[in-house]
Amino acid sequence: MKIQTEAANVWLRAHVNMRAGLLREKPAWLDIVAKYPPNHNFIKKAHLPNKGDPRKLALTGYQSDDLSKTRLSKSERKSKNRLVHRVPKLVFMEDSLRKVFYKQHPWELARPKNLVENSGEDNKKCNWKHMLQLHKQLDGESVVQRTLWLFREANMSLFEAYDKARFEFYKLRMSEEMESHVAREESSMYGAVFGHTVVDTNLREEQKYIDIWTEVGQEKTKIMHANKNRSSAPAGSVIEEGSLAISLFEEVLLSEPNAPEDPEDE
């Protein structure tokens, strides 16, 4: 009898035995193996080294023609099917569109987003036949979903759908900014007063300290140039940089409240 070297022959042998009447009952695994046949050879074979290889003879010092290899190398121990049980990386078209959009429009990431949802299914309420949605604010995700809808429903190429969605997004952004400017002007006309925003206040406070340190830096530069030329000056004229810089900073900082106020604060 020929030695069976493939596991798939198990099904063939059982099928032949059933037709010949050697098996009275059908094995429970027969249909499963027929539907999902094994495609690997599970028979282990002895690994024999290359015969007559002069390099092996030079390295080992003995002739290995009649020797069998009893241990596998590190590379041979690695399973050829090591990637079978690894979870595949999921790749979606939406991720590529988001990456491209936010790379072209990085300041869109600075806009605040509403992450609160009542049921977690607010996206199902959106109809992407148009860009502007009632249940979702306008952002980069609107461009992504609108692009996918045009790509699937309008039979456009991906580049055409992305450009169309992007220009629709620009128009809606410009209309939003125009509405906010008009509303601000109307409110000012009726007597509304708009104070400084938090960002403006932070920038003004930061600029004060930048101006102070600019003056300190100029004074320290003068001191450095003076100390470089101290060889020509009389003895005992070396200036202490640290104490003078601190005194200059304290002097400018203490005199800051007496400075005229910003006309915008009035």
Angle of helix 158-189 relative to helix 140-153, nearest 10 degrees?
140
Residue 173 belongs to some domain of the structure: yes
Angle of helix 241-254 relative to helix 198-228, nearest 10 degrees?
150
**Which of 23, 155, 228, 216 shows the shortest CA–CA distance to 164?**
155
Q: Residue 12: its pLDDT value, please?
A: 83
Q: Residue 186: its pLDDT value, please?
A: 92
- Alpha-carbon span 90 to 132, nearest angstrom: 29
Q: Residue 58: its pLDDT value, please?
A: 52
- Alpha-carbon span 74 to 90, nearest angstrom: 31
Judgement on whether residues 99 and 174 belong to the same structural domain of the protein: yes
Number of structural domains the chain divides into: 2
Residue 76 belongs to some domain of the structure: no
Beta bridge partners of residue 69, listed in sequence order: 47
Judgement on whether residues 174 and 99 belong to the same structural domain of the protein: yes
Q: Residue 72: its pLDDT value, please?
A: 65
List, in order, residues 6 or more apart from 92 with CB less than 8 Å away. none
- Alpha-carbon span 144 to 161, nearest angstrom: 10
Per-residue pLDDT tens, the chain, 266 aa: give them. Answer: 455 566 667 888 888 888 888 888 888 888 888 888 776 655 556 555 555 555 555 555 544 444 556 666 777 666 555 666 677 788 899 999 999 999 999 999 988 888 887 777 778 888 999 999 988 889 999 999 999 999 999 889 999 999 999 999 999 999 999 999 999 899 999 988 888 888 888 999 999 999 999 988 988 888 888 887 775 555 544 445 455 555 655 665 555 554 444 544 54
Segments forming the whole domain that contains residue 6 = 1-46
Judgement on whether residues 184 and 109 belong to the same structural domain of the protein: yes
- Contact between 108 and 139 (Cβ < 8 Å): yes
**H-helix segments, the chain:** 9-20, 30-35, 54-60, 74-77, 93-104, 140-153, 158-189, 198-228, 241-254
Q: Residue 146: its pLDDT value, please?
A: 94
- Contact between 215 and 248 (Cβ < 8 Å): yes
Query: How many other CB atoms are there within 10 angstroms of residue 169's CB atom?
Result: 22
Judgement on whether residues 11 and 99 belong to the same structural domain of the protein: no
